[in-house]
Chain A
Amino acid sequence: GGIITQTPKFLIGQEGQKLTLKCQQNFNHDTMYWYRQDSGKGLRLIYYSITENDLQKGDLSEGYDASREKKSSFSLTVTSAQKNEMAVFLCASSRGSNTEVFFGKGTRLTVV
């Protein structure tokens, strides 16, 4: 088995602030993802990466940057936090084909 660790669990930022969320996985998976989960809405894909140093934009990439520093880690940066940014950000990983995706427990972002 493996685990996906997201840090921090809770993040409070100020409007306009640059914020970074981190994710580590020990599954040795190739593909990693960042999703945003808003109350009452489905998970929406922000960025994904199919290998180290690769980055692919999802439907919600505007306002975010990402970095796949090594195979096991994938970080997400909110470039300028907005009050409507408040949501849970979920990191996930899968072996290339994506039929089973494993998720972390999420980082809950609050913008004040």
Chain B
Amino acid sequence: GQGVEQPAKLMSVEGTFARVNCTYSTSGFNGLSWYQQREGQAPVFLSYVVLDGLKDSGHFSTFLSRSNGYSYLLLTELQIKDSASYLCAVRVLASSGSWQLIFGSGTQLTVMP
């Protein structure tokens, strides 16, 4: 079957960094996205990667290794407001011929003072 796995929880300290991991096993792969979701709010798009390596977007960076089925989202200079759930989603081609996203269950990041 197809699966996207993430650790349920992660804690870190304000001013440091946090790395949110995502592993996937899917039939076909056409990119991986990261979303941030605050409590009671809509998920918000952060990043999309399709090539191996590190994509630096300032506060958020994303890494992808397609051969290992692995990605991470790196948050640097953490602020309390970065506390949220971070969702990983893999883009695959559905049997209907259109693209679909398969989501992980999300990692709840808590940033402590």
Which A residues form the contact surface with B (CB < 8 A)? 4, 31, 35, 40-45, 48, 50, 56, 58, 90, 97-106
- Report chain A residues within 8 Å CB of B4: 42
Contact, CB under 8 Å: A99 / B96: no
Which residue of chain A is the closest to B45 with respect to CB atoms? A100
Asked whether A56 and B98 contact (CB < 8 A) given A40-B105, A100-B33, the answer is yes
- Report chain A residues within 8 Å CB of B44: 103
- Report chain B residues within 8 Å CB of A45: 100-101
Q: Which secondary structure characterizes the binding site on chain A?
A: loop
- With contacts defined as CB atoms under 8 Å apart, how many contacts are there between chain A and chain B in the complex? 57
The 8 closest A-B pairs by CB, nearest first: A42-B103, A103-B42, A43-B103, A98-B99, A42-B105, A105-B42, A103-B43, A100-B45
Contact, CB under 8 Å: A98 / B41: no
Which B residues form the contact surface with A (CB < 8 A)? 4, 8, 31, 33, 35, 40-45, 48, 87, 89, 91, 94, 96, 98-106
Can you report 20 A-B residue pairs in the complex whose CB atoms are below 8 A from each other? A35-B103, A40-B8, A40-B105, A42-B102, A43-B103, A45-B100, A50-B98, A58-B100, A99-B33, A99-B91, A100-B33, A100-B48, A101-B33, A101-B101, A102-B42, A102-B45, A103-B35, A103-B42, A105-B42, A106-B42
CB distance from B11 to the nearest CB of A (A): 17
- Report chain A residues within 8 Å CB of B40: 105
Q: Which of A35, A99, A104 has the most CB of B within 10 A?
A: A99
CB distance from B103 to the nearest CB of A (A): 4
The CA-CA distance from A105 to B38 in the complex, in Å, is 10
- Report chain B residues within 8 Å CB of A50: 98
- Report chain A residues within 8 Å CB of B42: 4, 90, 102-106
The CA-CA distance from A102 to B101 in the complex, in Å, is 13
Which residue of chain A is the closest to B96 with respect to CB atoms? A56
